Structure 1
Amino acid sequence: MSKVQRGNISEYLPADCMSGSTLWIGGKWEAASDGRTFDTVDPATGNPIISISRAGAGDVQRAVDAAKIGAKVWAELDGMQRAGIMRKAAELIREHRLALGALDSIDSGKAISETSGRNTDGAAGMFDFFSGITDKIRGSVIDMGPKKTGLVEREPYGVVGAISPWNFPMTNATTKIAPILACGNALILKPAEQTPLSALLLAHLLDLAGLPKGVFNVITGLGAEAGAALVEHPDVPKISFTGSTATGRRIAAAAGERLKSVTLELGGKSPFIVFDDADLDTAASGAVTTVFMNQGQTCTSCAKVLVARPLLAAFIEKCKERVAKISIGDPLDPSTDLGPIVSQQQLDRVNRLLSEGVAAGATKLALSAKYSPMVGGCFIAPLIVTDLDPASSLAREEIFGPVMSVSPFDNDEEAYAAANDTEYGLAASVWTSSLARAETARRAINTGIVWINCVHTLSLNTPVPGRKSSGLGSEYGWEAVDNYMRLKTTVTMFGDYKGLF
């Protein structure tokens, strides 16, 4: 394959998937038990792609049964054996980068240059990184005196339910799959109903890598049906979810009723602060990158831009210059920078928030991006808005679209107050040439990530924690191990035990 062709995905997916059997359960492709399906839609054209199995509670039960068997087999392999399989998976992901990228681009509207490049490298890197952890997970011994030994061990949960989002389908799926497997668990992945296709090819590749049957299972379906059944299942003691804060709250509530452990990577309303001593050119480049990459559909997007008042006009002009170089159009064209919004529903939401913001006094600034929308697609051109009412929905809600809000501030304390005036606490980006100001800023801003003179600069060993309504737990890095293993304490006494009675 040298060029991706729209409407010809049969060369990218296993043959059985093309017939509507998109449930990967116990190492086999299955249809939903009641035969229901739904169509996945190409957001660049509005046309259906293929029919996807619509799993229900009975299908989730089948997947849980398979995962329970797979977990036992996986647990019998030592860390080096698991590492070998995971490294092979990384190799296969790289070998199939164009197919994986094509599926994500057709399914989500992401630019093929990104999905078959940086996104695929990140997915393969996840398996490489966590393959190095499998044989390094350790416990500890506690000194309890001369005749007792306390042993603390980390054990896998057994079966983990993973629910991944649509904005980075392959990347966010592997962010869960790799550490869950490295920690010795089996898992059931429920990909977003808008973007299930790359998960199907991942299942095939993991099978080719030698992963035992039942260790990895894929349930395609709707969140309110398949996702809810997975969260509520009594034999799934751990849930990992990435998505909206509203859905995360519902999952946390349901898990709380059942006393399940949850990891939640949720939304954000992240600030981007440009102080009066910042390098304006690099700051503008960073702002345009964070706000408009992936059409603004990035949870760590720092789209709440706060600029020192004396720099405001010049900063906006520099952003306009950079936006003019962005090409928006067919995501399968290698020269395209940005494609469409993932769905009509999401596009409608972005437009609603814009309308509400304008009604509350916001001003939309004309930009001159290279905008070539496809007929029937969910396209929207990048926007900058000013004069934003801080109480409006546009100012307070996560937009998840290519909209940069720019507001001035007059002193540092005002900037920190505006940055923290949100229910979210995922990320922040600060631009300054002062070390003292940078150190003050990272302490004053209440977020899990603070970037200083950079943005979206992460590595596989860098944890991504959320605060407030942005989530629970941390993904990436060694810290992810704490998400997917639980502690067990054993006390052994080799003297004479003397009870209380």
Structure 2
Amino acid sequence: MDKATPKADIYKANLDRAVPLLAKLKDEGIGHFIDGKVVPAISGATFETKSPIDGTVLAKVARGNAEDIDRAATAASLAFKSWRDMAPAMRRKLLHRLADAIEANAEDIAVLECIDTGQAYRFMAKAALRAAENFRFFADKCMEARDGQSTPSDEHWNISTRVPIGPVGVITPWNTPFMLSTWKIAPALAAGCTVVHKPAEWSPITAQWLAKLAKEAGIPDGVLNTVHGFGEEAGKALTEHPAIKAIGFVGESSTGSAIMAQGAPTLKRVHFELGGKNPVIVFDDADLERALDAVVFMIYSLNGERCTSSSRLLVQQSIAETFTAKLAARVRALKVGHPLDPATEIGPLIHERHLAKVCSYVDIARQDGAIIAVGGKPFDGPGGGHYVEPTLVTGASQTMRVAQEEVFGPFLTVIPFRDETDAIAIANDVQYGLTGYVWTNDMGRALRVADALEAGMIWLNSENVRHLPTPFGGMKASGIGRDGGDYSFDFYMETKHVSLARGTHKIQRLGV
């Protein structure tokens, strides 16, 4: 829609768009997508997916198990050779077609994702377009996926090349599920791998759209398969299946540990993008207005349900009181509401269990001696769903649980620091190491802090701005491996070394 369209009109249009989509969804349900066909679970089992807005049942979803995973893995295995051997230019063409199809359906995908996840429309409106951008980026890299290096020696020409590893499993999270799934699936397909996708059971709706759009774009049957279900059933079967050569997973650190153990007997390659307790460090010489905007955005956008959220604010003592006062005023002014309303900044949390988890940290903060400066309780939002007030915790120290554990909601903990050394020590004193954000006008200090932070990604004087060629991933309990550009191909492809002899080197003669 045009930017000049009144928000009330956009809200009504979104609600009107949702009606036929939800009716069709409830009527048809959600099946697996295996070998180019929508199929029920072999067992016939289903589970319900509900909207976090009001708890209504959106659809019955096929509940996969080891039999369904085996069926999908077999399809992926049978399709692998022809997809691997397809000319890169043709793979590029098909992935661009898929990007076109995503763009054509972007509004429907956004509306359904809001209803399925509770994420605000202002953030999800562009999510499908970003997903299309992911496919376009990796489509264009199909032509160079096999590129390697030339490392000549005195007697040999040595070259390296890359080949796709085989069928891979992709397990994706429930926050912005459509866009995040494309971060994994797009490079896998561009590399020449086939995929079995296990979406999160809390947000299964748009995964089927992606598989159907792939078929409509001409991607061969068996190349992209989707099996729904629970982690302990379908997910476990996928990580253990011998035909699956690698697992790309986004989710909790404890689940990543379990997947590593499950994949060990078949020596699976793993790529994990896991939890975070990310610091944003604000020094007293920073551009404080820009820093304030970034602090609010990086924890309260997307309901705080994002791995890269800056959930710990480390602010220098000399400005802590004034900066926190301005921050509190901004948090109080955040608009909680229906996710399809473009004025909404925070929608309902994904699930009643997650709402309970986020709210439990309010009690934990108080028990540890911190102050709930803003929010701290459920919110009576439209539909009566899983709404929570955006929460700000002050008076905290680094030893408190709210400074150590991932809450994964609109929940920010403020911790003052003395100087550069103190800020670094506090920032690194967690089990996680995904991102870090530093605000200062002293570039020497910015570079020193960036070098000292134990995090895979660091932004200086910026919020998280994703650039697809750059490496995305974390350290410590935040993950293993990197996404983005050629870093993705390092995971989905095997590097092969070929040595060409000049015919002049001496070969030792034995047994003469």
Query: Match for residue 75 of structure 1?
Result: 84
Matching residue within 366, 377, 380 for 2:385: 377
Query: Match for residue 143 of structure 1?
Result: 152
Matched, 1:415 2:407: no
Query: Match for residue 192 of structure 1?
Result: 200
Correspondence list, 1:221-232, <5 A: 221-232=229-240
Give the aligned residue type for 1:358. R
Give the aligned residue type for 1:379. Y
Query: Match for residue 113 of structure 2?
Result: 104
Q: Note the alpha carbon deviations across 1:156-175, whole angstroms, 9 max, x for none.
A: 01101000001120111000
Compute the displacement of 1:427 (Å): 0.4
Correspondence list, 1:169-208, <5 A: 169-208=177-216
Native 8 Å contact 1:151 1:489 kept in 2: yes
Query: Match for residue 38 of structure 1?
Result: 47
**Alpha-carbon distance in 2 for matches of 1:17, 1:498:** 73
Compute the displacement of 1:489 (Å): 2.6
Native 8 Å contact 2:150 2:159 kept in 1: yes
* Cα distance change, pair 141–454 in 1 and its aligned pair in 2 (3 A): closer
Correspondence list, 1:97-496, <5 A: 97-117=106-126, 119-137=127-145, 138-146=147-155, 148-366=156-374, 373-491=381-499, 495=503
Give the aligned residue type for 1:357. A
**Alpha-carbon distance in 2 for matches of 1:368, 1:362:** 12
Query: Match for residue 21 of structure 2?
Result: 11
Compute the displacement of 1:132 (Å): 1.1
Q: Note the alpha carbon deviations across 1:68-119, whole angstroms, 9 max, x for none.
A: 12212212211111111111111111111111111211110011222122x1
Native 8 Å contact 2:131 2:179 kept in 1: yes
**Alpha-carbon distance in 1 for matches of 2:494, 2:186:** 17
Query: Match for residue 6 of structure 2?
Result: none
Compute the displacement of 1:278 (Å): 1.1
* Cα distance change, pair 380–16 in 1 and its aligned pair in 2 (3 A): closer
Matching residue within 60, 67, 77 for 1:51: 60
Native 8 Å contact 1:55 1:220 kept in 2: yes
- Normalised TM-score (structure 1): 0.94
Compute the displacement of 1:366 (Å): 2.9
Native 8 Å contact 1:427 1:447 kept in 2: yes
Query: Match for residue 25 of structure 1?
Result: 34
Compute the displacement of 1:483 (Å): 1.2
Aligned residues: 498
- Paired residue secondary structure (2:122): helix
- Normalised TM-score (structure 2): 0.92
- Paired residue secondary structure (2:281): strand
Give the aligned residue type for 1:231. T
Percent identity between the two aligned chains: 35
Structure 1: tracts of 5 or more residues without a match: none
Compute the displacement of 1:479 (Å): 1.5
Structure 2: tracts of 5 or more residues without a match: 2-9
**Alpha-carbon distance in 1 for matches of 2:27, 2:474:** 38
Compute the displacement of 1:485 (Å): 0.5
Compute the displacement of 1:324 (Å): 3.9
Query: Match for residue 7 of structure 2?
Result: none
**Alpha-carbon distance in 2 for matches of 1:150, 1:164:** 38
**Alpha-carbon distance in 1 for matches of 2:501, 2:398:** 62
Compute the displacement of 1:354 (Å): 2.0
CA RMSD of aligned residues (A): 2.3
Native 8 Å contact 1:125 1:460 kept in 2: no
- Paired residue secondary structure (1:29): strand
Matching residue within 99, 106, 122 for 1:90: 99
